Amino acid sequence: MRLIINAMKKLAALFIFYGMIVSAQNNRVIYEYKFRPDSTKTDSLKTEWMYLDISKNGSKYYSKSAFESDSIVKESISKQMASGMRSISVSKRQGGEITYEVEKTYPALKTSLITDIGNDTYKVTEDRKIIWKILPDKKQLAGYMTQKAQTEFAGRKWDAWFTTEVPIQDGPYKFSGLPGLIVEISDDTGGHKLELKGLKKTADKPVEELNTQGRDIPILRKKPIDVTRAQYVKQLKQYQNDPVQGMRELLSRPNSTVKINVSGKEISDPAEILRAMEQNAKNEMASNNNKIELAP
């Protein structure tokens, strides 16, 4: 009897996953992300539109603004290269606060964060499993009947609302594993909230081909360095303690010439460059102290 029950459980799980894969093909989920980057300023609330592109073998979560900006820069570089220009002008990414991406692969829901530290890009394998507590509370959201679930992840407590009407066991950022699509999720401080705003079909592409704008141009986006979460945390702490370490090493090389523009003034003196870059990095970290993960 026990063998029969176990077999039935496995079969049921297989059908659930099959339904997830069938429903998950070629979808773009659009979320509105409201967040407060500076916890010391109540008026620092920002809004960004995020895409969760889903294919049969995985998903990719990224910023709409960052994607559009990369597309514009890529087009500009391609035109310059086609014209035979020897000097390529690369403009700074405009618009959008969210520069990271999150990839998940099906069926294991292996999750990776693609993010920058200084001048390097890392692909960080997530080793923490999100444990959900599903509650009986239900309500209508975004045209769907949803049910409440709670979890604690990366130093925050989260309330999520998911719908079984869209049998995709995925959601924004690293959140996944509920019996349906996450329609809304927010932390208990009110500093981070994501709401479903749209769901539409997209072209049939595998997850590794989604949002590749600019990745085929080395000077625009570097290939990520694969690291564990422990390795990433170590690199992050090193950067926070010394954000200009990479530039200091560059300036120490023989015949190295670096110029930067600060408030319209060109600086070439190494000491001034390091001082300006360090101050800029510290200001950025101070004003961006309320990240989505308090404990990365």
pLDDT digits (tens, 9 = 90+) for 206-257: 555 555 444 444 445 578 999 999 999 999 999 999 999 988 888 888 877 7
Closest CA to 194 of 171, 210, 211, 170: 171
Residues 6 or more apart whose CB falls under 8 angstroms from that of 62 comprise 50, 51, 53, 98, 100, 101, 102, 211
Query: Which CATH code is given to the segment(s) 24-240?
Result: 2.50.20
Three-state SS for the chain is CHHHHHHHHHHHHHHHHHHHHHHHCCEEEEEEEEECCCCCCCCCCEEEEEEEEEECCEEEEEEHHHHHHHHHHHHHHHHHHHCCCCCCCCCCCCCCCCCCEEEEECCCCEEEEEEEECCEEEEEECCCCCCCEEEEEEEEECCEEEEEEEEEECCEEEEEEEECCCCCCECCCCCECCCCEEEEEEECCCCEEEEEEEEEECCCCCHHHCCCCCCCCCCCCCCCEEEEHHHHHHHHHHHHHCCCHHHHHHHCCCCCCCCEEECCEEECCHHHHHHHHHHHHHHHHHHCCCCCCCCC
89 vs 282: which has the higher pLDDT: 282
Residues above pLDDT 90, as percent of the chain: 59
For residue 152, the model assigns a pLDDT of 99
For residue 101, the model assigns a pLDDT of 97
Strand-by-strand arrangement of the 133-141 sheet: 133-141, 144-153, 156-163, 181-187, 192-201, 27-35, 46-55, 58-63, 101-105, 110-117, 120-125, 225-228
For residue 82, the model assigns a pLDDT of 56
For residue 80, the model assigns a pLDDT of 52
Q: Residue 260: which pLDDT band, with cuts at 50, 70 and 90? A: confident
For residue 16, the model assigns a pLDDT of 44
pLDDT digits (tens, 9 = 90+) for 12-64: 444 344 444 444 468 999 999 999 999 999 888 999 999 999 999 999 999 99
Q: Residue 83: which pLDDT band, with cuts at 50, 70 and 90? A: low
For residue 291, the model assigns a pLDDT of 97
For residue 216, the model assigns a pLDDT of 46
194 vs 258: which has the higher pLDDT: 194
Q: Cis (ω within 30 of 0) for the bond into 107?
A: yes
For residue 258, the model assigns a pLDDT of 79
Q: CA dist 2 to 13, 14, 122, Å?
A: 17, 18, 46
Query: Which of 56-65, 66-75, 203-212, 283-292 is least confident?
Result: 203-212
pLDDT digits (tens, 9 = 90+) for 135-192: 999 999 999 999 999 999 999 999 999 999 999 999 999 999 999 999 999 999 999 9
For residue 11, the model assigns a pLDDT of 40
Record the tokens describing residue 156, joined without a space.
């925050």
pLDDT at 9 > cutoff 50: no
For residue 295, the model assigns a pLDDT of 96
pLDDT digits (tens, 9 = 90+) for 40-51: 998 889 999 999
pLDDT digits (tens, 9 = 90+) for 84-122: 555 444 445 556 789 999 999 999 999 999 999 988 999
For residue 206, the model assigns a pLDDT of 54
Long-range contacts of 286-290 (CB under 8 A, 24+ apart): 287/37, 287/38, 287/44, 288/37, 288/38, 289/37, 289/38, 289/39, 289/40, 290/35, 290/36, 290/37, 290/38, 290/39, 290/191
Residue 200's identity, in one-letter code, is K
Beta bridge partners of 83: none
d(CA 290, CA 279): 19
For residue 221, the model assigns a pLDDT of 58
Residue 13's identity, in one-letter code, is A
